[in-house]
Amino acid sequence: MPSEDYAALLERIGRVKDVNSAIGLLSWDQEVYMPPKGAPARGQQLATLSAISHRMFTGKEVGELLDRLGGDTSLSADATKLVEETRYDYDRATRLPESFVQKFSEERSKAYEAWVRAKGENNFEGFRPNLETIVDLSKQKADLMGYEGSPYNALLEDYERGMTTEQLRPIFSELAERQSNLVERIAASGRAPDTAWLDTEWDRDAQWDFTIRILRDMGYDLEAGRQDESVHPFTTDFDLYDVRVTTRINTNNPFEAIMASIHEGGHGLYEQGFLASDQRTILGEAISLGIHESQSRLWETLIGQSRPFWEHYAEVLRQAFPEQLKNVSNDAVYRGVNKVQPTLRRLDADECTYNLHIILRFEIEVALIEGDLKVADIPGLWKAKMKQYLGLDVPDDARGCLQDIHWSHGSIGYFPTYTLGNLYAAQFLEKLLEDLPTLWEEVGAGNFAGLLTWLRAKVHQVGRRKQPAELVRDVTGKDPSSEAYLDYLEKKYGELYDL
Ligand code: ZN
């Protein structure tokens, strides 16, 4: 019999989540359907609802309920966990004074506008003062939140709980060394696949149907979700039974939409996989961005760029595009999907180079927050690191340090989760293959039921019951590390490029 306090807490959290879902729906609409002139009003609506949600959650009644429930030994294990997780969120949400939150939010809006302009004009100076303010505020935020070791840890905590700069440094330096070495050997191999067959027109509707077909095959429930188009693909959820994904269609390259849909489908399956009994509670949520990204990257790269996957789906794609693919073998499709090519833009990066883009950003962010780097010196350091890791000369800042939106949003500490997602995914796959030795045969038949069942049981249904590193350890028996990912990359690309 749940106590009155516990029922009151559930009700309060449920209502906060209702408001947050309304915020999510307005944001989804903003990206998918809203006419451009609706932006200012939408900004106000979102600000009003965000303030309401924050006040509802941080009210002192919630603190009092949590104080009383914190000592309640009659609660079940799940209820105890739920109280602990709510306490964690509550403490973090109340640690920053409202004046600071307000100031940070205003400076972020200014920084975003300055960034859009500076990027368009290829003028880093136009963004520099704003970024200096964001870095200063981020340092203040770290002090207010508290930390051990590097102040960057306080920022990382927002995106990847429990992860530290001290843990990431050795993992990332090994990745940087071995991945840039791999990229060099690939370039020297002279075995770049011929992808001239891609240079043609790819019908929009046929692409759309193909992405829906794959989402359905993956097990994404279209009765509890939908796909739309947006400039930047994303996944959002308003409830366990309303999880939406978006994709982006390029009529010059069908693989953009295919990979975006598989990626977002992986995120969507995670959100659709929480326990029904956790619906409208804090336990039915993703534990971290790194774990979230492990789900999207597992489907997109480890599965969606595998040979068995394309043995099956190249045939399906050929039915949709008989003219374009009549002289292209399944093997050529597989090789085309896995072409390695260092790029200036992170968003264009392939599996072998992606982490290098992230490591460069991580190193710059840590140096900024630890006080070893001035904002004015970012462009120079960016160019030096792009040369070192990817062998590329950066022609201008628009294609260099101004390319990402994250810093203008004040999201320092976010980037590492992309790479952690790759690493966790490879660790999960290693274990998955032990538990499900027929995985590749099933994938080769377009059958993902075994894979999804495993992910549901091991990852999705856990929700917020475990910390990210704890989850990885419990599932794989190992700490988060770069080993599985590097083994995977070196084996796959060693074979593809005859290294
Ligand atoms: Zn993602």
Quote the ligand 1 centre to 418 CA distance (angstroms): 8
Strand order in the sheet with 225-229: 225-229, 242-247, 235-239
What whole-number percentage of the chain has pLDDT above 90? 94
Q: Ligand 1: distance of its center to the CA of 499 in Å?
A: 30
- Domain check: are 96 and 171 in the same one? no
Domain-ending residue, one of 118, 146, 174: 146
Rg of the chain over CA atoms, in angstroms? 23
- Where do the H-state alpha helices sit in 348-448? 354-369, 378-390, 416-435, 439-444
Q: Is residue 70 part of a domain?
A: yes
- Residue 158 maps to a domain: no
Q: CA 77 to CA 395: how far, in whole Å?
A: 56
Q: Model-level pTM?
A: 0.96
Residues 393 and 260 in one domain: yes
Mean pLDDT of 30-53: 90
| Amino acid of residue 288 | S
Q: Quick count: other Cβ atoms within 10 Å of Cβ 232? A: 10
CA of 202 to the centre of ligand 1 (A): 25
Are residue 180 and residue 46 in the same domain, yes or no?
Answer: no
- Position 41 in a domain: yes
pLDDT tens per residue, range 331-359:
999 999 999 999 999 999 999 999 999 99
Q: Are residues 130 and 173 in the same domain?
A: no
Residues 299 and 377 reside in one and the same domain: yes
Q: Determine the average pLDDT of the residues in 206-217.
A: 98
pLDDT at 125 over 80: yes
Choose one of 146, 178, 193: the last residue of a domain. Answer: 146
Give yes or no: residues 219 and 326 share one domain. Answer: yes
- Nearest alpha carbon to residue 357 among 371, 367, 342: 342
Distance CA 399, CA 383 (A): 10
Same domain, 130 and 274: no
% of the chain exceeding 70 in pLDDT:
100
pLDDT value of position 449? 98
Question: Do residue 107 and residue 170 come from a single domain?
Answer: no
- For residue 9, the CA-to-ligand 1 centroid distance in Å is 31
For the chain, give me the number of helices (H) and strands (E)? Answer: 20, 3
Domain boundary residue, one of 93, 114, 146: 146
Lowest-confidence pick of 46-55, 205-214, 286-295: 46-55
CATH number at residue 359: 1.10.1370.30
Domains held by the chain: number = 2
Q: Which residue stretches of 59-164 are H helix?
A: 60-70, 77-95, 98-120, 128-145, 152-156
Cα–Cα distance, 46 to 5 (Å, whole number):
30
What mean pLDDT value characterizes the chain? Answer: 96
Neighbours of ion ligand 1 (CB under 5 A): 296
pLDDT-based confidence at 47, cuts 50/70/90? confident
CA of 296 to the centre of ligand 1 (A): 6
Q: Residues with Cβ < 8 Å from 221, sequence gap 6 or more?
A: 272
The verdict on residue 152 lying in a domain is no
Separation in Å, CA 323 to CA 198, 314, 318, 330, 430:
12, 13, 8, 15, 38
The pLDDT value recorded for residue 1 is 55
Strands 225-229 and 235-239: unpaired
Tokens standing for 411?
Answer: 């999201």
Q: Is residue 154 part of a domain?
A: no
The answer to whether the CB of 382 falls within 8 A of the CB of 125 is no
Tokens at 287, concatenated? 């534990």
If asked whether residues 107 and 205 sit together in one domain, one would say: no
HSE-CB of 100 using CA atoms within 13 angstroms: 16
Name the DSSP class of 285.
S
DSSP annotation of 146: -
Distance (Å) from CA 63 to ligand 1 centroid = 33
Question: Measured between alpha carbons, how far apart are the two ends of the chain, in Å?
Answer: 64
What is the pLDDT at residue 105? 87
The parent domain of residue 419 ranges over 165-496
Q: Are residues 136 and 179 in the same domain?
A: no
Q: How many CA atoms lie within 13 A of 386 on its CB side?
A: 21
Does 433 fall in a domain?
yes
pLDDT band with cut points at 50, 70 and 90 for residue 257: very high
The confidence band for 2, taking pLDDT boundaries of 50, 70 and 90, is low
**Average pLDDT of span 436-454:** 98
Angle 430-434-436 from CA coordinates, rounded to 5°: 110
Is residue 159 a part of any domain in this protein? Answer: no
> What pLDDT is recorded for position 39?
86
Neighbouring C-beta atoms of residue 272, cutoff 10 Å = 20
Residue 40 has pLDDT above 90, yes or no: no
Buried b or exposed e, range 68-90, using 16+ CB within 10 angstroms? bbeeeeebeeebebbbebbbebb
Count CB neighbours of 484 within 10 A. 21
Whether 264 is catalytic is yes
- SS3 at position 235: strand
- In angstroms, the CA 270 to CA 254 distance is 25
Distance in Å, CA 68 to ligand 1 centroid: 38
Bridge partners of residue 235, in order along the sequence: 245
Under the banding of pLDDT at 50, 70 and 90, the label for residue 111 is: very high
pLDDT at 428 exceeding the cut of 70: yes
Give φ, ψ of 360 to 5 degrees. Answer: -55, -45
Q: How far, in Å, is the centroid of ligand 1 from the Cα of 263? A: 6
Question: Among residues 85, 264, 271, 351, which one is catalytic?
Answer: 264
Clarify whether residues 330 and 239 are in a common domain: yes
- Asked if 131 and 258 sit in the same domain, the reply is no
> How many CB atoms lie under 10 A from the CB of residue 218?
20
**Crossing angle of helices 4-32 and 60-70, rounded to 10°:** 130
Question: Is 259 domain-assigned?
Answer: yes
Contact present, 158 and 413 (Cβ < 8 Å): yes
| Ligand 1 centroid to residue 125 C-alpha, Å | 31
